[in-house]
Amino acid sequence: MSPLKITTRDVLTGPVLEIIGELDYAHATELRDLLPTLPLQAGQRLILDLAGMQFCDSSGIAALIAARNHAQAFHADIALAAVPAHTLRILRVVGLDQIFALHPDSEAATGA
């Protein structure tokens, strides 16, 4: 099991969270706990860069939805960048690809 590492950086459009490792039952609360500490303003975009995410279970999907809800509470947008194929398949099966903006990488997400 790979531990979860989340790095945060700010860009002009808003915060970018790089999620590395496993976003699973044992670690999803780390993302949920980080959300209230993010400096997010109306009109900004929260970007979750998933390029380094190795695994995502239903708890991880729930944490992604919590991030979306957090962004919406601040009248901000959210985008997922570099979603791994196995996670993208899940998002498509359950229809979450229709509520998340998906981008090939975080640079594309900041410019979109």
| pTM, full prediction | 0.95
CA distance 77 to 64: 13
- Domain carrying residue 98: 5-111
Q: Which two tokens stand for residue 96?
A: 């979450």
Q: Residue 49: exposed, middle, or buried by beta-carbon count in 10 A (0-12, 13-18, 19+)?
A: buried
pLDDT at 60: 97
Helix (H, G, I), strand (E, B) or coil at 99: coil
pLDDT at 1: 53
pLDDT, one tens digit per residue, over 57-93 is 999 999 999 999 999 999 999 999 999 999 999 999 9
Q: What is the CATH number of the domain that holds 31?
A: 3.30.750.24
Identity (one letter) of the amino acid at 106? Answer: S
Asked if residue 20 lies in contact with residue 4, where contact means CB atoms within 8 angstroms, the answer is yes
pLDDT at 86: 94
pLDDT at 6: 98
For the cut 70, the answer to whether the pLDDT of residue 112 exceeds it is no
What's the domain count of the chain?
1
CA distance 57 to 86: 10
pLDDT, one tens digit per residue, over 25-59 is 999 999 999 999 998 999 999 999 999 999 999 99
- Cβ atoms within 10 Å of 71's Cβ, excluding its own: 23
